[in-house]
Structure 1
Amino acid sequence: MGDGARRHIGADERRARLALRHRLAPSARAEAPEEVADALVALHGSDPSTVYLAVGARLADASMTVAETDRALYEDRGLVRMHGMRHTVFVFPTALTAVVHASTGLTVAARERAKLLKDMAAAGAPDAAWLKDVEESALAALARRGQATASELARDEPRLKEQFAYAAGKRYEGVHTVSSRLLRVLGVEGKVVRGRPLGSWTSSQFRWAVAPPHPELDASEAQAELLRRWLGACGPATEADLKWWTGWTVTAVRRALAAIRAEAVTLDGGGTGYVAEGDAGPPTASVREPWAALLPALDPTAMGWQERDWYLAPELRGALFDRSGNVGPTVWWDGRVVGGWAQRPDGEIVWRLLDREGVGREAEAAVAAEADRLRGWVGTTRVTPRFRTPLEKELSA
């Protein structure tokens, strides 16, 4: 992981890499959603609107955001919405699904299935053989339908509607249907993925579809490949960043770093970061102009690192994050978060600068232009983040 004197990569260079590799500088914008997802490795998908807003911020022609993202997700299937790192829903390039499944999904899947069986047994529900039979029947029905909601599948397989008590005697006790728990398990097992939503691109109600076929990969090799891809997009990153983003153990992170011969570099403040092999040199391209961006809640750039001081002043976190650590909509200027934005009920895009260091009239004009660009393609659609943050709630009121 690097021999001899280590190269130093400071905050300014990290911001320059971010501008180009995350397709945020106007000169680096992408032509299609697939290019955006490939550049970022993964788009946060737990809030459906985040996928479209993240793509729109990075497309050269933002007016094509909804139509092109729908095409990529539901027609060409070049992008797939599925469970990934930290048991979170993401949108991945389809070619990467096998890597994600083997590197992060298998461990979570085994745990989720065991938990479902334990909960069912505690409630006196049928056993594993019964559940396996229901699963096979449901998957066959889904294959026949192409895409379906849980209720539609339950018409073909009525046992999906059966209920069992959960956490009896505890304050969070409740009743679960077999369909809600089983489909979630099948999702983390890589057997089903989210299909088209029932409503618009902001809807959180999805149909289900059988997952596209993919090879079964060795877990260690898949972890190495995922880390190589992510460092290419986000390096340098610390061990803490890598452990947080992947959800792996420190041992797994270090094993993958060694497998890809990652190179160690020094960071501002004396920390150690890692880049992919051969990527420690200065950028081969440079950012030709300062840039502004309005990124959505849970954007993969804002959420890409656990250690964020090089692009986000610590004093801004209280306004821009919720209590669980989810970032809200952010305003960026030349590689730093400088404020936040929101959409009012009348559709107006409003923003506020919180950090004015180095932010003058040029920056304000550029941010205003990005707000106009966003307003132009969002149109009459109203976007409310799933996780509300203090500044977003204040601005949208």
Structure 2
Amino acid sequence: MARDSAHREIALLRARAQGLFPADAAAPAAVVGSLLALQAQDLAAAKWAIGVRSPGSTLAGLDAAIDAGEIVRSWPMRGTLHFVPGEDLGWMQQCTTARLLAQARPTHEAQGLTSAVHERARELAVEALSGGQSLTRAAFQDMLERNGISTAGNRGYHLIWFLAQTGTLCWGPTAGNAQALVLLDEWVRNPRRLEPDEAFAEFLLRYLRGHGPATLQDFVWWSKLTVAEAKRGLQVARPLLVERVIGDTSYWMPAELDIADADAAADIAAARRRFAASAWLLPAFDEYFLGYRDRQASADLEHQERIVPGKNGVFRPIVVVAGRVVGTWRRRVAGGSGAGRGVQIDIEPFGPVGAAQVAALRRAGNRYAHFLGVRAGELDVRGQVRQ
């Protein structure tokens, strides 16, 4: 299979796994469950990452799902905030926490965050939040300060991170444009319990269900498990997986996502034609691009630094047409409040954009406006538009 053809095949399969094509109007909680984890340090971006995979959903509806505890935001892996199903957070941290704490120890020691400070902060958190209470980040840090624990500099963030990473806290109900902190064992009532090898296998299988086809190296990068742990997971999950050689690389995916043996070749061809006409406005840090070590299936190498300028770890919102990242975008919401508010989409394409692509992107902008609950404004595509 030629390189470009291989990338198109991978992109189609990944879009199907990620719930982008065809989008099936899954509820927000089901979207998160199918992907297992969506990077979420940028809360507004992470909400749209769910919304774009849940056609017809709204920001208000998603906030309601968060407030109901159907979706939980915490630090399950990579030391980075993610949205995850609440029931899965505990076993994910079982796989990742020890290594992350070891990595954080020098920073905590330099800030005077000793074991005694950590445990005193835990006692105070449990006392303040027990019985279904919640506190914003600012209020939580004020509570620590009143009880003699300094949150100066980054100490407040690191204390919250430690308490969440070790299973005491998570982010709970919405509080304006942020979330409030709650006790994890009160917010998540029925956590799953898995044995180590079972957890490694579940980690790999769920990643592949939401991101496949992908390589074992992609999974190791995404999860930050060790290669040995990933291989242990593969050994357990292997009966549920198929190996596909695409180009000259072996990829893994759950058997139910494989279309190679589908009965109707015409249906596959039709899906590929529809995929060629697809267009999405995906948020910053979206899993479609971020979720892999090798991202050439979705973006040319020469464009990747425009998506992550300076390779600084900050991923920009991306414009995707026919499975390929063809530019970046930003939004401008104006018009005050109520029905007069509108969102304008400014697109910076990597090259000339066809009129049909602009029309498809305008429809994508309309979907985004519906999600926000505002009027769809102008779509501004910088550069030349092909006729």
* 1:181-220 equivalences in 2 (<5 Å): 181-200=158-177, 203=178, 206-211=179-184, 212-213=188-189, 214-220=191-197
Seen in structure 2, the aligned counterparts of structure 1 residues 302 and 155 have a Cα distance that, compared at 3 Å, is: closer
Per the alignment, residue 82 of structure 2 pairs with 90
> Which has a greater percent of helix?
2
Deviates more, 1:184-193 or 1:16-25: 16-25
Percent identity for Structure 1 against Structure 2:
25
1:300 pairs with 2:287: yes
Aligned to 1:53: 48
3-state DSSP class of the match of 1:46? coil
Q: 1:373 is paired with a residue of what secondary structure?
A: helix
1:162 aligns with 2:149: yes
User: How many angstroms does 1:160 deviate by?
Assistant: 4.7
Determine which structure has the larger strand proportion and give its number: 2
The letter for the 2-side match of 1:327 is F
Tell me the residue number matched to 1:343: 331
Residue 108 of structure 1 is matched in structure 2 by: 100
Distance 2:348 2:103 in 1: 43
Counterpart in the other structure of 1:14: 10
Structure 1 runs (4+) deviating above 3 angstroms are 109-112, 114-120, 127-131, 150-161, 174-177, 276-281, 283-286, 344-347
Structure 2: runs of 5+ lacking an equivalent: 335-342
Once the two structures are superposed, residues 57-99 of structure 1 have per-residue CA deviations (whole angstroms, 9 ceiling, x without a partner) of: 22221xx421111111112x11100102211100012232233
TM-score by length of 1: 0.77
Q: Is the 8 A contact 1:52 1:65 kept in 2?
A: no
* Letter in structure 2 aligned against 1:267: I
Give the Cα separation in 1 of the matches to 2:306 and 2:154: 36
For residues 352 and 55 of structure 1, the distance between their equivalents in structure 2, rounded to whole angstroms, comes to 23
Aligned residue number for residue 320 of structure 1: 307
Match of 1:275 among 225, 235, 253: 253
SS for the counterpart of 1:327 is coil
Match of 2:134 among 126, 147, 150: 147
Please list every run of 5 or more consecutive structure 1 residues that lacks an aligned counterpart in the other structure: 1-8, 165-173, 382-391
1:363 equivalent among 354, 357, 382: 357
Contact (CA 8 Å) 1:154, 1:161: kept in 2 or not? no
The one of 31, 34, 37 equivalent to 1:36 is 31
Aligned-partner residue type, residue 316 of structure 1:
H
Contact 1:45/1:81, CA 8 A, preserved across alignment: yes
* Separation in structure 2 between the aligned mates of residue 283 and residue 97 of structure 1, nearest angstrom: 35
Residue from 214, 217, 222 that aligns with 1:237:
214
The worse-fitting range, judged by mean Cα deviation, of 44-53 and 277-286 is 277-286
CA deviations 1:134-164 (Å, max 9, x no partner) are 4223213211352113554467666654238
Distance 1:182 1:367, change over 3 A: same
The alpha-carbon distance between structure 1 residues 311 and 134, as it changes in their structure 2 partners (threshold 3 A), is closer
Quick one: distance in 2 between partners of 1:15 and 1:117?
41
Q: How many residues align?
A: 350
